[in-house]
Structure 1
Amino acid sequence: MTTIPIQPGERIDQLFSTDVKIIQNRDVFSYSVDSVLLSRFPKLPSRGLIVDLCSGNGAVGLFASSQTQAQIILVELQERLAEMAERSIRLNNLTDQVSVINDDLKNLTQHIKPSQVDLIVCNPPYFKATETSKKNLSEHYLLARHEITTNLDEICKVCQQALKSNGRLALVHRPDRLLEIIDTLKQYKLAPKRIQFIYPKAGKEANMLLIEAIKDGSLEGMRILPPLIVHQDNGDYTDEIRAIYYGH
């Protein structure tokens, strides 16, 4: 493992089902279960090009790197988070496979040719910018969680531009925005094909969803996958989640 400088407040975490290590900083950005689940939700192309939009410290794309030989591009607006991701790439000796674009995602096709991407994964801001109840966050978390610098419409527009025909988009988002998500996907010719609801515990309401869409795909044949429950009643991970985090 390459020696990489670690800044004050940072730590190195590992998803133990892989060898990938991620540089984290609780005050700046740390990945959580949504990033882990998103990295395992779509079937990854064995080769080609994957883009991770709203990549934060690069967790989704870096975790995916252990499952494919495809080139992976992380796209992150915040310079501090992009720099953390770049160091994590070097930490894992992945510079030949993974790279970072530190720019607004709407400029993606200035960096890569349109209609060239096989798969886009995106863990976007969940909350509309008008929702003010939880804005007592650091600037980094504020931008990561609220639609201040980007929104669902802009993300889908960029995906339509960047994806190949029959290329796929995989999103993690909030169930209360499902109808808006589906309407926006369809507006940009992204046909929803697979949805999975995530539940914190059995008997609780879903608090996340995973959705996959295909560019220029048929609007018929959408599948609702079995529910995924994160925690047992005692707070431990369920067997499914434990296998994702630690391997079988």
Structure 2
Amino acid sequence: MRSPGELPPSAAPLKPGERLDRLGLGRRVIIQRDDAFRFGIDAVLLAAFARVPAEGEIVDLGAGNGAVPLLLADRTGARFTLVDIQPELLDMARRSAELNGLQDRFRFVLSDVREAADVLGADRFDYATSNPPYLRRGGGTPSPNATRHIARHETTATIDDFARAAARLLKPRGRAAWVYRPERLADLFSALQKARLHPVRLRWVHPRPEARAVLVLVEAVKGPAAPLAVEPPLFVATGDGYSEAMMAIYRMSGGADG
């Protein structure tokens, strides 16, 4: 029996306007479409940054079309619960999981993150990941595409809501990994503090060594405060191409063999 909000099974074949893209350099594939929000380098970096447990339960808040869990699936035997408010994206995530043979480890829940703990139950997950909307409500240039607009703007849930949801869902000493914009790091830290999640790891992401950071990766723990470890910055590119660190991330993504 499905729980409230859980999507029913769907057929895996592509629908009109959809295509199959490869995840990283591996064998995993993902269903995407040009007129919907598509995964980018932030999902790849979040998956690489997350120190997921070898087994247990992982929840992805604001899962979109499922890129982060698909990228993580070969690094752990854990089961994944994908939560998103957009049925079209979650349906693509479900069919991507089926195409990758991961349907037995993936669960799909259509829910506002503010209600996720009511649907799924509190204190049950070992790890959480989230690539939440970066832009405040009314900030930036609104996208004429509703799917993209909801994915990029805090239309229904704020960063405070995402942090509270993670805190309620995580077991004591569970951890959550986030990818966010540097200009909103203070907002993220404030949200984590109010939710009693304590940052323990941070890594800046720069396009090139001479450029400002464009993303920040943060891991927080539900439990006693601990020292914050600032890891070496990640430079996406050096010289004429990807940095060695970035190539290593792509090699570990999507079920690559090495």
Correspondence for 2:245 among 214, 221, 240:
240
**1:134 — aligned with what?**
141
Give SS of 2:176's match.
strand
Answer yes or no: is 1:214 the counterpart of 2:243.
no
Unaligned runs of 5+ in 2: 1-10, 253-257
Distance 1:126 1:88, change over 3 A: same
Q: Distance in 1 between matches of 2:37 and 2:16?
A: 14
1:130: how far off?
A: 2.2
Residues 153-197 of structure 1 show CA distances to partners (whole Å, capped at 9, x for unaligned) of 111111111101100010000001112211211111100000000
**2:159 — aligned with what?**
152
Distance 1:16 1:36, change over 3 A: closer
Give SS of 2:116's match.
helix
**2:6 — aligned with what?**
none
Q: Say whether the 8 Å CA contact 1:17–1:244 is kept in structure 2.
A: no
Q: Distance in 1 between matches of 2:222 and 2:107?
A: 24
Unaligned runs of 5+ in 1: none
Give SS of 1:83's match.
helix
1:215: how far off?
A: 0.4
1:16: how far off?
A: 4.0
**1:52 — aligned with what?**
60
Q: Distance in 1 between matches of 2:14 and 2:23?
A: 19
Answer yes or no: is 1:64 the counterpart of 2:69.
no
Answer yes or no: is 1:162 the counterpart of 2:169.
yes
Give SS of 1:185's match.
helix
**1:143 — aligned with what?**
150
**1:224 — aligned with what?**
230
Q: Distance in 1 between matches of 2:144 and 2:130?
A: 21
1:142: how far off?
A: 0.4
1:151: how far off?
A: 0.8
Correspondence for 1:93 among 64, 87, 101:
101
Correspondence for 2:205 among 189, 198, 206:
198
**1:105 — aligned with what?**
113
Cα-Cα RMSD: 1.4
One-letter amino acid of the structure 2 residue matched with residue 241 of structure 1: M
Q: Say whether the 8 Å CA contact 1:192–1:213 is kept in structure 2.
A: yes
Q: Say whether the 8 Å CA contact 1:54–1:105 is kept in structure 2.
A: yes
Q: Distance in 2 between matches of 1:120 and 1:225?
A: 20
Q: Say whether the 8 Å CA contact 1:49–1:71 is kept in structure 2.
A: yes
Q: Which moved more, 1:49-58 or 1:17-26?
A: 17-26
Give SS of 1:147's match.
coil
Give SS of 2:236's match.
strand
One-letter amino acid of the structure 1 residue matched with residue 231 of structure 2: L
Q: Distance in 2 between matches of 1:185 and 1:98?
A: 27
1:17: how far off?
A: 4.0
1:8: how far off?
A: 2.3
One-letter amino acid of the structure 2 residue matched with residue 221 of structure 1: P
Number of matched pairs: 243
Residues 23-82 of structure 1 show CA distances to partners (whole Å, capped at 9, x for unaligned) of 111211210000011011121111110001101100001111111111101111101101
1:18: how far off?
A: 3.4
Give SS of 1:118's match.
strand
Q: Distance in 2 between matches of 1:153 and 1:86?
A: 27
